[in-house]
Structures are given as C-alpha cells and as structure tokens.
C-alpha cells in the first residue's frame, strides 16, 4: 500500500509530495538521513535529510548539464574532480568522455554510494568500476584545502547549504577549488533553484567575484527541483570558455560520440542567458 509523504523543499509553506509506493531503504548514516523509495511518476527517488536529491526519471537533465557544459567548454579536460555526487550520476556522465584520463570523486558519505549502487544502479551505470575513477571518502572542503593535485574541471554536486553540504558554499571552498584548477580550468557547482533560493545565487556571486576572473551562472529546468530553473555556478580564470561559437561546441560534442537525452550544443550556449531577476540578484543586470 502506498503512503503519502511530504518531502521538504527547503522552503517554509511550500512543499512537494510523493507517494512512497515502496520504501527501499531508510537509515540515519553517520552524516545524514538517507531514504530511497519508489514512486509511480518518478521511479526511484533518493532523499537526504528530508530533501529530494535525485530521481530515476529526470536525473539525466541535471547530470548532463552539470557535466557536459564544463567538459565540452574546456575542450581538453583530462583530469576531473567531482565533489559529492554519491549517487554516481555525474561520474557516469564524466566517464562517457573517453578523452578524460583521470577522475577523482570526493564523497563524504560511503552509504550514499553503496545504497545508490544497489537501489539506483542506472545512476552510476557501472562507472564506479571505471579504472579512471579514484573514489575518496572524505569532506570535499578539506580535500580542496589540502590537495596537491590539479584538475581541468571541478564539479561540485553537493547537497544544499545546510548540514554536511554547507561548507561547499563558502568562500574558502571556492578558493580551495581555484587553487586546485589548472590554468584554463573551470569550476561548476549546483547552486539551488534560482527563484526560490535567490539569496544563494547572490551569495555565491559575491564569494566568486574576488577569486575568479570570469564567473557566471547557467541553468536548466529540472522537474524534481520545484520552483523554477536550477542554477549552476560557473567560475574560471578564462572568459573564453563560455564565449565559444556554436560551431566549436558542436564539433567538440560530435567528436565525443555521446548520445545525450537533454544536452545539446544549442542548449549549452542558451543556458548562460539568465532571467532579469537573477541577473539583478547576482549584480549583472
């Protein structure tokens, strides 16, 4: 029998409800409350600390946009760092780029990886066995402060700025990422639903400004993240990366041979065009 559960969306007085058609896993890990269940509309759904993280039905939108936009824009990414991302969706998409030689993923919670492998196998789709992947169980904030390696692309696929994910939205975290980027490298981060979490985008903009020569946001509409477009922060010391022609982006994308379900070169470029309210919030109106 299915049970109606309200899942918090971080916003007071506005929520999201899912029927829990089958509860697959519910457990308090060392870091957070983890729940995975089946829902007739969205398939399997992962929830952390009461907030929906990912669903089988629409995960491709988020994972493709948070991966292919920076990797294709970079054009020669060989070393990629993923922070968080325990469900494996970003790792899967990075692994689809045969030109990437090394991937380090730093996830704080081993249980998220284990349970996602078991209950959301399509998310990683075997990517955790890819010989290019080095999985580190630890805090992404500490990792970027101490890391001696550098990367071409850093992708922060974190929870929202509360609980263990809070540190991944601080100026010191962004500074650590900047330190770990190769020249011409790029950092992208999940930055919440722009309409509902406008302050989050404004705060990130303020923190990135003194650190990176070029920063901006791009977006995608992910049905699960209710309230409008999902914003992704973008930061690099090279302004060229987000100002390339459609022709160049198309050529690079075709060369990968990847068949995507959401990403297209046209969407890649269009995603950087932001609504006026967001431009105002980040001081770029």
Mark the binding-site residues for spermidine, compressed into ranges. Answer: 63, 87, 157-160
And the tokens for 86? 């325990």
Q: Least distance from C-beta 34 to ligand SAM, angstroms?
A: 8
Query: Cα angle vertex 236, ends 226, 188, to 5°?
Result: 25
- Pick the closer one to ligand SAM by CB: 178 or 191: 191
Q: What is the CA radius of gyration of the chain?
A: 18
In this structure, the strands spanning 214-220 and 230-236 are: antiparallel
Cα-to-chain-centroid distance, residue 130: 20
> Where is the binding site for S-methyl-5'-thioadenosine, in residues?
32, 107, 139-140, 164
Of 24, 63, 35, 34, nearest in space to 225 by CA: 63
Question: Which residue number places its CB atom closest to ligand SAM?
Answer: 84
Interface ranges with ligand SAM (CB under 6 A): 53-54, 62, 83-87, 106-109, 112, 139-141, 157-159, 164-165, 167-168, 190
Q: What is the DSSP letter of 87?
A: T
Cα-to-chain-centroid distance, residue 199: 19
Catalytic: 157? yes
Q: Which residues contact 9 (CB under 8 A, 6 or more apart)?
A: 15, 16, 51, 52, 196, 226, 227
Active-site residue, from 129, 152, 157, 172: 157
- Pick the closer one to ligand SAM by CB: 60 or 141: 141
And the tokens for 252? 């690079």
Q: Around 97, how many Cα atoms within 13 Å sit in the side-chain half-sphere?
A: 28
Q: Least distance from C-beta 5 to ligand SAM, angstroms?
A: 18
What amino acid positions are annotated as catalytic residues?
A: 157
């Amino acid at each position: 029998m299915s049970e109606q559960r309200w899942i918090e969306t971080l916003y007071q007085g506005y929520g999201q409800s899912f029927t829990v058609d089958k509860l697959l896993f519910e457990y308090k890990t060392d870091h957070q409350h983890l729940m995975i269940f089946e829902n007739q509309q969205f398939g399997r759904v992962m929830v952390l600390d009461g907030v929906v993280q990912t669903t089988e039905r629409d995960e491709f939108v988020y994972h493709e946009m948070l991966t292919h936009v920076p990797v294709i824009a970079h054009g020669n990414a060989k070393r990629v760092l993923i922070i968080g991302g325990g469900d494996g969706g970003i790792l899967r998409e990075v692994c689809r780029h045969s030109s990437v030689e090394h991937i380090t993923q730093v996830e704080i919670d081993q249980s998220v990886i284990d349970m996602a492998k078991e209950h959301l196998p399509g998310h990683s789709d075997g990517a955790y066995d890819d010989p290019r992947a080095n999985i580190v169980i630890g805090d992404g904030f500490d990792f970027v402060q101490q890391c001696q390696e550098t990367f071409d692309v850093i992708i922060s696929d974190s929870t929202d700025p509360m609980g263990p994910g809070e540190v991944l939205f601080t100026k010191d975290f962004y500074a650590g990422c900047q330190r770990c980027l190769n020249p011409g490298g790029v950092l992208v981060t999940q930055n919440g639903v722009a309409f509902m979490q406008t302050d989050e985008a404004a705060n990130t903009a303020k923190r990135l400004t003194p650190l990176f020569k070029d920063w901006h946001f791009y977006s995608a509409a992910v049905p699960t993240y209710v309230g409008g477009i999902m914003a992704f922060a973008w930061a690099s010391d090279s302004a060229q990366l987000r100002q390339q022609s459609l022709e160049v982006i198309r050529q690079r994308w075709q060369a990968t041979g990847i068949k995507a379900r959401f990403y297209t070169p046209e969407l890649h470029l269009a995603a950087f065009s932001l609504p006026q309210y967001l431009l105002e919030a980040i001081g770029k109106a």
